Structure 1
Amino acid sequence: MNQIHAIKRKPVPRGIAHTGPVILAYGFRPFFLGAGIWAVLAMGLWIGALALGLPIGEGYGGAAWHAHEMLFGYSSAALAGFLLTAIPNWTGRLPVSGAPLALLFLVWLLGRLVLIAPTLLGLGWAVALDLAFLPLLLAICLREVVTGRKWRDLKVLAGVLALALANGGFHALVIWNGDTGLASRLAISAYVMLIGIIGGRVVPSFTRNWLAKRHVTALPAPYDRLDTIALLVGLAALVCWVAAPEQLATGLIALAAAALHAARLKRWQGWQTGEERLVLVLHLAYAAIPLGFVAMALAASGLLEATAALHVFTVGAIGLMTLAIMSRATRGHTGLPLTAPLLTGVSYAYIIVGTILRPVAVLIPDHYLILVSLSGLCWMAAFSLYLVEYAPALVTRRKPRPA
C-alpha cells in the first residue's frame, strides 16, 4: 500500500511551492528585489562620490567600481531573475527555489558587499567572491537547458558565458592598472545580444497577445531571415566595437546594424500599443538598440564622446528593458493584472529622461556634473518607484492557485 501511495504522489515542482518563505519561491523574487535595491544604492554611492568625494571601491577605483556594479552588479541580478523565471517556460522544467536559491543569491550579495571596500577582506579575496556568481548561474541554467534538451537556447547561455569572461577581464585589468574599456564593451555587447535574442521573442509575442485580444488584424511579423540577418550584423558590429571602437569600419557596420534593427522593430507593430504602457515600453527599450548603434557610429567617427555613446546602450537598452521585464514579470508571476499603473509608467519615464540626459551632459561640458547627477537621480527615482510598487508583492504575495 505504501508503495502504491509513493507511486501516485507527485512532487511539488520547484519554484512554485506554496510553503516556505515567499521570497525564495521563485528566482525572480530575490533577484529582482536585490537588483532594484542595488540600482538605487549603487547609483547613490556613485553620485555621492562625484559630488561629495565619497570614497567607494577604495583601491579598486571609484569609476571602475561604478562601471562594474552597473554591468556586473545590478544587471547580473536582473538577468538572473529573468533567466531563472524564463528558462522553465522554455524547457518545461522549473529552476531552484528554497535553500539553493538562497545560496545563489547570497553569492551575488557577497560580491556587492566586498567590493564596496575590497581592502577590508583583501582585493584578491573580494574579486574571487565576486567572480563566483556568473559561473554558478551559468551552471544552473546550463543544467536546465541540457536536461530539457532545448539546444537553441544555448545561444542565450553563450551571452552569460561572455559576461563571466568579461567580469574576469574587468577585474584583471583593474588589478593590472589597465584600461577596463575593452571588458566593459564586451559586457555591454553581451547584454545587447541577449536583448536582441530574447527581445526578439518576448516583444513580438507579448505584443501579438495584446493586439489579438483587441481583435487587431495587423500583428507582429513572425521570425524570419531579416531577424537572423539583423542579429548577425549586430554581432559583427559589436565585435568590431569591442576590438576597435574608433575605426571607420566599425562605424559603417554599426550603421548597417542600426538600420536592420530599426526595420526589425518596425515589423512588431509597436505604434499600436500606446494604450498599454506595459507593452509599449518593450518597444521603446528595444528602440535604444538601433539608437545605440547610431551612437556607436558617431563615436567611431569622432562626432560623439565614447562614454556618451556607451550610455545609450547601458541606460537606454539595458536599463529600460530590465526595468520593463522586471515590472511585467513581477505582475504576471504574483497574480497582479498585466497592465501598467501610473506609478510604473512614471518609472519608465524616468529611465527615458535619464537616457537623454547622460549623452547631453557631454555636449554641455559647463554643466556636465549637474547633468550626470540628474541622470543618475532619474535612474534612482525609477528603481525607487519599482521598489515602492513591487517589493511588497515580491516578498509576500503568492500567485493564486489555479481553480
Structure 2
Amino acid sequence: MARQQYHGPAFLSHGFRLFFLMAGLTGFLLVPGWLYLFFHGGTLPSGMVSLDWHIHEMIFGYLAAVIAGFLLTAIPNWTGRLPISGAPLACLVLLWFFGRVLMLAPVPDLVRAGGDSLFLIIMTFVAAREVKAGKNWRNAPVCLLVGLFALGNITFHVERLGMLDSDVAVRAALSVISVLIALIGGRIVPSFTTNWLIKSGAAARPVPFNSFDKAVLALTVLALAFWSMAPEGTPTGVMLILAGALQFVRLARWQGWVPWRNALVLVLHVAYLWLPVGLVLLGFAAALPEVVPMPSAGIHALTAGLMGMMTVAVMSRATLGHTGRELAAGAVGCWLYVILFTAALLRVVASLIPEFYASGVMMSGVLWSLAFLIFVVHYGAMTLTPRLVIKGT
C-alpha cells in the first residue's frame, strides 16, 4: 500500500523532529543522574548497577534516538520514498521511550531485556524495508550496521542476565557506531566541505573517496573487531594505532582547515578528529598500558568526543536545513560546539591524569549537560513547529 502525503502536526512529519528532541533531552538529563550516583551512591529502582545503566543509556538510549532520527530523515532522500510520519512515527518514538522506562522500572529482568531490545530490532527492519523498497542497495551496509547495533543491545542484556560470560557487548556496540560514523562521516564531511568551498570560491577540494579510504575503513573495522574481542595485547594495540594514524591522514585529505570560518562545517572535522584520537589512545592502552593506563581515555574520546560532537553537529545542521532555516550556526551554535568540545576534552584528560579524575569528571558532566540544554532550548523548539516558508518561493 502506497504511503500517503502527511498533513498532521509538524512534530510527527519527519523522524528527526521528535527523535532529535528526545536525544537532546536524554543527553541533558542522564549525565546529572549519573554524576549523582557516581559521587553520592544510591540504587536505581530497577536494581541495575548504576554504571551499567549509565553505559547502556548513553549508547543504546541516546545514540539509538540519534540514529533513528537520522535514518528516518535520510532514507527518504536515499530512496525517493515518502518519510515515515504520523501514527507509525509516534509508535516508534513511544517504543524507544518504553525502553527508557524499562531501564529504570522495577520489572523482571527478562521483561526489561525483551522490551528494551524491541526498538532497535524494529528500526533495523524499518530501515532494511525502506532501502529494499527503494532499491537503494548502496546503503545496505548502513542497515547491516544498525542490525549489529541491535544485536549489541541484545548481547548487553544477555550478559547482564548471566547467560553469557563475557563483556563484549559495549565494546562491540561502540565499534559499530565508530564504523558507522567513519562510513557516513566519510560521505557528509567532504560533501558539505566541498559545497562550502565551491560557494566561497576557494580552490581547495577534498580528495574524492578512493581505494585509500576503502583500505582505511577495512583496517578500522579489523582493528575494532580485535578490540571488541581482545581489548588488550600488542596485536590489537598496533592495529588500533595504525588505523588511528591513517584515519588522521584521511581526515587531513578533506581540507578541514580551509572552511574554518563556517562553524557548521568546521565542527564536522573537529568531531571526526576524535576518531583517530580515540583509536590511538585505545591502541596505547592495549599495547603500552604504562603510557595510557586507563582505556577509558580512548573510550571517552570515542563516546563524548566523536559520538557526542558528531551527533550534535549532524542534529543541529539537519534541524536547521529541514526546518527551512539558514545553514549558519550563529553565536548559540558556536557556543554549543565549544562547550561540548571542552566537556569531551576534560573527560578524556580526567582519564589520563588520576589526580584530576574526580574534578575532571564533574566539570565535564556539567558542561556536557549545559551543551545539551542549549541544544534542547535552541534547536528543540525548531523541531516542534512547521517548516518556515520563505516569502516569494
Q: TM-score by structure 1 length?
A: 0.93
Encode CA deviations 1:161-207: one digit per residue, 9 max, x unaligned. 11111101111111218777411110100111110110011001101
* Equivalent runs, 1:141-290 vs 2, <5 Å: 141-176=127-162, 181-290=167-276
In the aligned structure 2, how far is the partner of 1:345 from the partner of 1:177? 46
Q: How many correspondences in the alignment?
A: 388
Residue 379 of structure 1 corresponds to 368
Deviation at 1:222, TM superposition (A): 1.1
- Contact 1:45/1:56 (<8 A) preserved: no
Q: Which amino acid aligns with 2:214?
A: T
Q: Which amino acid aligns with 1:350?
A: I
- Contact 1:34/1:77 (<8 A) preserved: yes
Alignment of 1:40 with 2:28, yes or no, is: yes
Q: Which amino acid aligns with 2:80?
A: G
- Matched residue SS, 1:132: helix
- Contact 1:114/1:126 (<8 A) preserved: yes
- Contact 1:174/1:180 (<8 A) preserved: no
Q: Which amino acid aligns with 1:35?
A: A
Residue 39 of structure 2 corresponds to 51
Deviation at 1:125, TM superposition (A): 1.2
- Runs of 5+ unmatched residues, structure 1: 1-10
Name the Cα RMSD after superposition.
1.7
Encode CA deviations 1:207-263: one digit per residue, 9 max, x unaligned. 100110011121111111111011001001101100111110111111221121111
* Equivalent runs, 1:3-402 vs 2, <5 Å: 14=5, 17=6, 19-56=7-44, 58-117=46-105, 119=106, 121-176=107-162, 181-300=167-286, 301-302=288-289, 303-304=291-292, 305-400=294-389
Q: What is the percent sequence identity of the aligned residues?
A: 42
In the aligned structure 1, how far is the partner of 2:117 from the partner of 2:237? 33
Q: 1:179 to 1:313 in 2, by over 3 A?
A: farther
- Contact 1:285/1:316 (<8 A) preserved: yes
Q: Which amino acid aligns with 1:343?
A: V
- Contact 2:44/2:50 (<8 A) preserved: yes
In the aligned structure 1, how far is the partner of 2:252 from the partner of 2:184? 17
Q: 1:177 to 1:353 in 2, by over 3 A?
A: farther
In the aligned structure 2, how far is the partner of 1:400 from the partner of 1:137? 31
- Matched residue SS, 2:257: helix
- Matched residue SS, 1:149: coil
Q: Which amino acid aligns with 1:346?
A: W
In the aligned structure 2, how far is the partner of 1:399 from the partner of 1:201? 27
Deviation at 1:55, TM superposition (A): 2.6
